């Protein structure tokens, strides 16, 4: 008979709609403002003792809080606060109490019931323009980038002069200039000529003083700006890669001014992890172990943990390659010892440099020097009598691996000597995302309120409600019972759309709300096409059952064509757009899919339940 679905189809539609209600439900639970505590290293364990220290500090500062909890892995602790305005004061109090070595970050704690969360149901993420998020202002230490370049110049000049047997004493001065000291004017002129051919970007200045001949080398202001721009741009790329590794939707990472970078993370669930990963200046240097009889000026001493004993080892000052040559990295385990390791793949130039050095140094030991920018906090009283925290940055350098070279190394090798799998995974992530060209410091961290104001956000939500209400009134008056069915389908459409956005972790922005409003109109448009077709068939004096069947079947092609063309536009917007444009494209694309399902399948199922299998003389349309 016409207009009847088999039982399995009704059950399938009911299952899909129920699925939508279940995964849309978490959006009814607003998150609590919170402060999150984690270790500076992913290997650190946060326990109840750390939670008690933080709770005591908040109590003494008269900051209202509730619900302190440590996660199952012991990687972080979360303290919920009464008010969002208390987050920044709470962060400062806890950071002072915990001291250096801990990261205290702002967060939002989920209030989704366990019975929903256990099935993977989570609320959809809201963009910065709706619920705010976390804002970081980072400053690139361009002076360190310039100093690093001068160190490379110094080592390179020493090497080329040594190869040409030009004797002289080369060192980098505290003022940032390279000074060469030679016994004769002829040696200085030879060195100047060689440096000019190899490093034409360096400015040279000759001076004579008490029988010694000096050559001072510096870089031009234009070159300084080029190095600074490279450091900021490279850090920008690296930070974007790291944000992508974190899986943040709709992030903002952009340059601000000469040496600052703004990072905004909407809907971030683990701000402490974000802060640790973004701020890590994790770089590596591969150096040969210094020979026993090497001059003190040609070697450096670093901390080295060997078989759980903390000692030291000497490495050559010359660097074989740095972490910037790493093309990819992954964490794993050594097949023999089952110890954590990082599998490294170098780019072609890095592989060639590694091969060239190691093939001439078989049976010598190659050290992996891990360099990390950290900071110590110093508290001072300002002129207003307020206590302020001053971050004093420093570089921590330690050897994480010192292994004997058995054969010449190429583009692939591994790093061992790591403490645990978490440390190996973090190191692999940082190397995979790219090394920072220069250290960065957190200048500012704050929560971002809705950029358009609470009133405009409410207006955005109200616009959806008003649009839905007006459409509902019109449809029920004009199409009567069929209009009621269309409104029910429209409600299911919104529920399914919210559920899909939650499952896919899509970020809802204010332009996204505009996409939802447009979806409401498009969903109704499909029903209008179907109902108008049914009315035409009834005017042709065919039976009501045949009119229903013909209306849905013949309008299907038109609806499909219209929605596919709109979907193609939405896909193009997502591909070429960014930020708010993508938010609009996402909601529009998902809305098209759900509206076609509810307008064609769900509404017909409801019509079939009302009229299917019955003798009908007149339709309420």
Q: Report which of residues 321 and 452 the model is more confident about.
A: 321
- Does domain 7-25+453-611 sit in CATH 1.10.3720.10? no
Question: Which residue is associated with the tokens 């900051």?
Answer: 63
**What pLDDT band is residue 131 in, cutting at 50, 70 and 90?**
low
Class of domain 226-447: alpha beta
Neighbours of 579 (CB within 10 A): 16
Q: Report which of residues 6 and 420 the model is more confident about.
A: 6
Question: Which residue is associated with the tokens 């439900």?
Answer: 25
Q: Are 139 and 228 in contact (CB under 8 A)?
A: no
d(CA 481, CA 496): 23
- Does domain 32-109 sit in CATH 3.30.70.260? yes
d(CA 483, CA 528): 9
d(CA 487, CA 243): 41
Where does 271-348 show beta strands of DSSP type E? Answer: 283-288, 299-306, 309-316, 321-322, 326-333, 340-346
Phi and psi (nearest 5°) for 512? -65, -35
Cα radius of gyration rounded to whole Å, the chain: 33
pLDDT in tens, 528-580: 888 888 888 888 888 888 888 888 888 888 888 888 888 898 889 888 776 67
330 - beta bridge partners? 343
Residue 506 carries which DSSP code? P
Which range, of 78-87, 335-344, 595-604, averages the lowest pLDDT?
335-344
Q: In Å, how far are 28, 350, 430, 511, 585 from 324, measured between CA atoms?
A: 46, 9, 11, 39, 36
Q: Strand 309-316 relative to strand 133-140: parallel, antiparallel, unpaired? A: unpaired
The pLDDT assigned to 105 comes to 75
The pLDDT assigned to 496 comes to 92
The pLDDT assigned to 145 comes to 85
Q: Report which of residues 440 and 248 the model is more confident about.
A: 440
pLDDT in tens, 10-67: 999 999 999 999 999 998 888 888 888 887 766 677 888 888 999 999 999 999 998 8
- Write down the architecture of domain 143-223 according to CATH: 2-Layer Sandwich (3.30)
pLDDT at 302 over 60: yes
3-state secondary structure of 346: strand
The pLDDT assigned to 433 comes to 60
Which range, of 219-233, 389-403, 466-480, 592-606, averages the lowest pLDDT?
389-403
pLDDT in tens, 231-266: 888 888 878 877 765 555 557 788 888 889 988 877
Q: Report which of residues 559 and 454 the model is more confident about.
A: 559
Give ∠ CA 388-391-396 in degrees, rounded to 5: 160
| DSSP secondary structure string for all residues of 414-453 | EE---SSHHHHHHHHHHHHH---SS-EEEEEEEEEPPTTH
The pLDDT assigned to 89 comes to 87
pLDDT in tens, 56-82: 999 999 999 988 888 877 778 889 998
pLDDT at 107 over 70: yes
Q: Report which of residues 30 and 360 the model is more confident about.
A: 360
d(CA 171, CA 193): 18
| DSSP secondary structure string for all residues of 557-603 | HHHHHHHHHHHHHHHHHHHH--THHHHHHHHHHHHHHHHHIIIIIIH
Using a pLDDT cut of 90, give the percent of the chain over it.
Answer: 8
Query: Encoding tokens for residue 7?
Result: 């039982």
Q: Strand 412-415 relative to strand 340-346: parallel, antiparallel, unpaired? A: antiparallel
**What pLDDT band is residue 306 in, cutting at 50, 70 and 90?**
low
Mean pLDDT, range 336-352, rounded to an integer:
82
Question: Which residue is associated with the tokens 């938010």?
Answer: 583
Neighbours of 472 (CB within 10 A): 19
Q: Where in the chain is the domain with CATH 1.20.1640.10?
A: 7-25+453-611
Q: Where in the chain is the domain with CATH 3.30.70.260?
A: 32-109
The distance of Cα 323 from the centroid of its chain, to the nearest Å, equals 20
Q: Are 156 and 150 in contact (CB under 8 A)?
A: no
Question: Which residue is associated with the tokens 């090394």?
Answer: 435
Name the residue among 24, 31, 30 with its Cα closest to residue 121: 24
Phi and psi (nearest 5°) for 183? -80, -30
Global model pTM greater than 0.75: no
Mean pLDDT, range 186-204, rounded to an integer:
88
pLDDT in tens, 390-406: 777 777 888 877 878 88
Mean pLDDT, range 114-134, rounded to an integer:
78
Q: Are 182 and 151 in contact (CB under 8 A)?
A: no
Query: Encoding tokens for residue 95?
Result: 């950071």
Contacts 24+ apart (CB under 8 A), 453-459: 456/510, 457/129, 457/130, 457/510
**What pLDDT band is residue 504 in, cutting at 50, 70 and 90?**
confident
Q: Are 569 and 499 in contact (CB under 8 A)?
A: no
d(CA 35, CA 104): 7
The pLDDT assigned to 288 comes to 92
d(CA 482, CA 472): 11
Mean pLDDT, range 409-416, rounded to an integer:
79
The pLDDT assigned to 578 comes to 64
The pLDDT assigned to 327 comes to 76
Q: What is the mean pLDDT of the chain?
A: 82
The pLDDT assigned to 267 comes to 55
d(CA 507, CA 264): 13
Which range, of 181-185, 356-360, 582-586, averages the lowest pLDDT?
582-586
Question: Which residue is associated with the tokens 């299907």?
Answer: 556
Phi and psi (nearest 5°) for 618? -150, 140
**What pLDDT band is residue 308 in, cutting at 50, 70 and 90?**
low
| DSSP secondary structure string for all residues of 31-43 | PEEEEEEEESSTT
Which range, of 261-275, 376-390, 528-542, averages the lowest pLDDT?
261-275
């Amino acid at each position: 008979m016409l207009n009847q679905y088999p039982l399995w189809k009704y059950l399938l539609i009911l299952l899909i709609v129920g699925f939508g209600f279940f995964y849309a439900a978490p959006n009814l639970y607003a998150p609590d403002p919170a402060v999150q505590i984690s270790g500076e290293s992913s290997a650190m364990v946060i326990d109840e003792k750390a939670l008690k220290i933080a709770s005591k500090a908040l109590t003494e500062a008269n900051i209202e809080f509730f619900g302190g909890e440590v996660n199952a892995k012991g990687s972080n602790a979360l303290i919920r606060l009464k008010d969002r305005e208390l987050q920044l004061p709470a962060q400062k109090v806890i950071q002072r109490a915990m001291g250096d070595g801990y990261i205290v970050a702002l967060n939002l704690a989920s209030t989704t019931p366990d019975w929903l969360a256990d099935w993977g149901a989570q609320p959809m993420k809201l963009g910065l323009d709706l619920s705010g998020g976390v804002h970081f202002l980072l400053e690139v230490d361009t002076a360190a980038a310039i100093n690093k370049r001068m160190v490379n110049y110094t080592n390179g000049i020493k090497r080329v002069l040594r190869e040409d047997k030009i004797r002289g004493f080369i060192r980098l001065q505290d003022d940032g200039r390279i000074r060469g000291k030679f016994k004769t004017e002829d040696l200085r002129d030879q060195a100047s000529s060689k440096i000019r051919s190899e490093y034409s970007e360096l400015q040279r200045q000759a001076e004579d003083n008490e029988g010694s001949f000096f050559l001072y080398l510096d870089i031009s202001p234009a070159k300084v700006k080029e190095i600074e721009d490279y450091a900021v741009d490279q850090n920008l790329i690296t930070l974007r890669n790291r944000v992508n590794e974190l899986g943040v939707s709709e992030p903002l990472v952009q340059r601000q001014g000469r040496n600052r970078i703004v990072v905004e993370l909407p809907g971030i669930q683990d701000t402490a992890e974000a802060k640790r990963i973004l701020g890590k200046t994790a770089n590596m240097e591969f150096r040969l172990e210094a020979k026993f009889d090497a001059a003190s000026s040609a070697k450096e001493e670093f901390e080295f943990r060997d078989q759980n004993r903390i000692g030291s080892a000497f490495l050559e000052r010359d660097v074989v390659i740095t972490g910037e040559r790493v093309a990819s990295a992954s964490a794993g385990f050594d097949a023999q010892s089952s110890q954590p390791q990082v599998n490294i793949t170098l780019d072609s130039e890095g592989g060639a440099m590694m091969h060239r050095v190691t093939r001439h140094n078989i049976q010598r030991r190659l050290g992996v020097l891990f360099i990390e920018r950290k900071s110590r906090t110093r508290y001072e009283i300002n002129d207003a009598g307020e206590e302020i925290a001053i971050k004093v940055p420093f570089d921590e350098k330690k050897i994480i691996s010192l292994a004997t070279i058995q054969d010449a190394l190429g583009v692939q090798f591994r790093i061992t000597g790591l403490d645990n799998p978490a440390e190996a995974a973090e190191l692999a992530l940082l190397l995979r995302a790219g090394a920072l060209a220069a250290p960065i410091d957190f200048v500012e961290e704050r929560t971002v309120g809705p950029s358009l104001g609470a009133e405009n956000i409410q207006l955005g939500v109200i616009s959806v409600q008003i649009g839905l209400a007006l459409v509902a009134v019109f449809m029920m008056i004009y199409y009567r019972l069929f209009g009621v069915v269309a409104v029910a389908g429209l409600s299911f459409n919104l529920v399914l759309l919210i559920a899909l956005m939650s499952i896919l972790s899509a970020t809802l922005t204010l332009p996204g709300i505009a996409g939802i409003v447009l979806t409401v109109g498009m969903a109704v448009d499909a029903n209008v096409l179907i109902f108008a077709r049914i009315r035409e068939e009834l005017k042709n004096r065919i039976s009501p059952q045949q009119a229903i069947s013909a209306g849905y079947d013949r309008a299907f092609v038109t609806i499909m064509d219209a929605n596919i063309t709109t979907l193609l536009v939405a896909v193009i917007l997502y591909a070429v757009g960014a930020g708010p444009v993508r938010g609009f494209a996402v909601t529009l694309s998902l809305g098209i899919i759900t509206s076609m399902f509810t307008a064609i399948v769900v509404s017909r199922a409801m019509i079939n339940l009302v009229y299917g299998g019955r003798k009908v003389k007149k339709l309420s349309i």
